[in-house]
Amino acid sequence: MNDHWKQAVRRIGWMGWAILVLAALPAGAQEADRRPSMEPAQMQALRRAADAVVGLRVRAVEDARSARSLGRDRAGSGIVIGRDGLVLTIGYLILEAESLMVVADDGRHLPARVVAYDQATGFGLVQTLVPLDIEPAPLGRSSIAADAEPLVVASGGERGIVSMTWLRSRRAFAGDWEYLIDGALFTSPPMPEHSGAGLFNASGELIGVGSLFLTNVAQSDAPGTPGTMFVPVDLLVPIMSELRARGRSAASARPWLGINCVEHGGQVRILRVNEDSPAELAELRVGDRILSIDGKPVDNLAALWKTLWADSRSERAVSVEIQRDGQAQTVVVHAVDRAKALRRPEGI
């Protein structure tokens, strides 16, 4: 699948796309009872969905803390969800942004501003500073998507592509970077340009926003099912007004330590300590095993983050019991609000 697939799909027309859908089905899936119904209205809906996906070009501030892991220059996608030029994307793309451009399929580069970055869900919102003139994508319900359901995923900009994928599972996802969400969507095959890509159902409704490539998206530990994790739009609807009014949801105001962790065999260990973070100031180290938070034992990532956020006061002392070199010890980490640790362009 080349970089011009999205344009090629439009050239062959959406009846041709329906044929490609059937050709892309797994072996045995072209039987009449599993063949997707591609009525003209659905074809038009999917075309509108693909047209609503745009590219994003972001440059972070010079001293961005996130540049170490994300780079200063970033590229990805977003989905137009408002007639006022509101674009939904994945938040890490716009973290500590200094400049931002929305790239339409017709080649226009439109300046935009950050509206919201929501740590709790991982969503980001941007808005163009000049009219976008693109029909917004309707929001669907990610909670009703069925396992093994064929879906359409689209990325935008110069490298925009449209492809088929299948929903493999839907479950909670705990990230290594102080992140936990419910109802994440796991699809396969993976989307090459996944950052901020739109996941659509057969009616052309947006149900997810691309976040991560994973080597295994199956619910079991069996290897060999690479795919993509999408943040479900069901998490967006309840907080939309908060994001537009305050730039984040209330749930994002919570204690942040500045660590990345990994779980294995019932143990949670520190994988990375962020520079100038509360964890670094408390002298936590890579390799430390975390035994408990505020006296409560933790043995997996989900338990670690839930226990940390059980007391939602963002500015507080957190008691972290660790094991280092075979010895247990307790370290007090003075957590902060993550938003206060982010860099901003001068004058903001």
Q: E strands within the chain?
A: 53-60, 73-80, 86-90, 97-103, 109-117, 123-128, 150-154, 162-175, 179-188, 198-200, 206-214, 227-232, 255-256, 259-264, 267-273, 289-293, 296-297, 316-324, 327-337
State residue 222's pLDDT score: 63
Local structure of residue 26 (DSSP, 8 states): P
- Map residue 58 onto helix, strand or coil: strand
Give the number of domains in the chain.
1
Tell whether 97 is covered by a domain. no
Q: Which two tokens stand for residue 133?
A: 């003139």
Tell whether 160 is covered by a domain. no
- Map residue 172 onto helix, strand or coil: strand
Q: If we measure between CA atoms, which residue out of 310, 27, 9, 48 comes closest to residue 201?
A: 48
Tell whether 6 is covered by a domain. no
Q: What Rg, from alpha-carbon coordinates, does the chain have?
A: 21
> For residue 22, how many other CB atoms are within 10 A of its CB?
12
Tell whether 257 is covered by a domain. yes
The range of the structural domain enclosing residue 336 comes to 253-341
Whether the model clears a pTM of 0.85, i.e. scores above it, the answer is yes
Q: What angle do CA 129, 342, 306 make, to 5 degrees?
A: 110
Measured between alpha carbons, how far is 167 from 76 in angstroms, rounded to an integer? 22
Tell whether 193 is covered by a domain. no
Tell whether 5 is covered by a domain. no
Tell whether 285 is covered by a domain. yes
Tell whether 247 is covered by a domain. no
Measured between alpha carbons, how far is 153 from 161 in angstroms, rounded to an integer? 8
CATH label of the domain that carries residue 269: 2.30.42.10
In the block, residue with structure tokens 């994945």: 90
| pLDDT tens, the chain, 348 aa long | 444 445 544 433 443 454 445 444 454 444 444 445 556 777 787 888 889 999 999 999 998 888 888 999 999 999 999 999 999 999 999 999 999 999 998 889 999 999 999 999 999 999 999 999 999 999 999 999 988 888 999 999 877 889 889 999 999 999 999 999 999 999 999 988 899 999 999 889 999 999 999 998 987 666 678 999 999 999 999 999 999 999 999 999 999 999 999 999 999 999 999 999 999 999 999 999 999 999 999 999 999 999 999 999 999 999 999 999 999 999 999 999 999 889 887 654
Measured between alpha carbons, how far is 90 from 126 in angstroms, rounded to an integer? 10
Local structure of residue 298 (DSSP, 8 states): -
Q: If we measure between CA atoms, which residue out of 3, 161, 146 comes closest to residue 77?
A: 161
